[in-house]
Amino acid sequence: MAYTAKDYTKLIGMEGFSDTLLNNHFTLYQGYVTNTNKVADILAAMLKEGKTAAPEYAELKRRFGFEFDGMRLHEYYFGNLDGKTPLDKAGALAKKLAAAFGSYEAWEQDFRATGAMRGIGWVVLYQDDVTGALFNQWINEHEVGHLAGCRPVLVMDVFEHAFMIDYGLKRADYIAAFFKNIDWKAVESRIK
């Protein structure tokens, strides 16, 4: 089954994100989709040819996680942007954040602090499918650091490509722009 890149051009013109930054980011995302399909096709061919004991097969199996997660994390990220409505402080998500962190403000402080950490990666607000608990988690490379059995609720890209063109080294300014553009309806729809 081939994956198709989704169209996120509706984000063009979003406050705090230049068209150049967004178009570059879309191109990078499309590369993950292309590479996910390429790696899947090569793995299928190797399986059919009985080449599963080859070191190349093992390396491609590992690489598939990187490409697939790069594709999917970008879809979550773009999908939770372009919001025009603030979080409903009386809604289910706000109540769950307050219950998990003591208050919405404490959750936001933790999410922003996680995003401001040195390094490249992602910040993901996860919900544990078993307990419903919420966690802000740092993800290094796309395939490293995910919480098993948890669903991504809010995803923020903190690789340099997500902000350097517009913000240089001012990651906190990028995080502020990100928060101004969260689509809280999309985020709340991901809550179980």
Strand partners, 150: 128
Q: Which residue has the tokens 């995910």?
A: 146
Q: Is 29 inside any structural domain?
A: yes
**Domain endpoint, select from 55, 79, 103:** 79
Quick check: 158 and 171 in contact, CB under 8 A?
Answer: yes
Decide if 158 contacts 115 (C-beta within 8 A): yes
DSSP string, 17-61: S-HHHHHHHHHHHHHHHHHHHHHHHHHHHHHHTT-TTSHHHHHHH
Q: Same structural domain for residues 96 and 174?
A: yes
pLDDT in tens, the chain (192 residues): 799 999 999 999 999 999 999 999 999 999 999 999 999 999 999 999 999 999 999 999 999 999 999 999 999 999 999 988 889 999 999 999 999 999 999 999 999 999 999 999 999 999 999 999 999 999 998 899 999 999 999 999 999 999 999 999 999 999 999 999 999 999 999 998
CA angle 177, 183, 188 (to 5 degrees): 130
CATH of the domain at 132: 3.55.40.20
Residue 14 · residue 44 · CB < 8 Å: no
The answer as to whether 60 is a domain residue is: yes
Question: How many domains is the chain partitioned into structurally?
Answer: 2
Q: Given this model, what pLDDT does residue 142 score?
A: 87
Q: Which residue range forms the structural domain that includes residue 74? A: 18-79
Q: Is residue 116 part of a domain?
A: yes
Among 79, 109, 129, give the residue marking a domain's end. Answer: 79
Residues 178 and 153 in one domain: yes
Same domain, 115 and 171: yes
Structural domain ending residue among the three candidates 31, 48, 79:
79
What is the DSSP secondary-structure string of 94-105?
Answer: HHHHHHHHSSHH
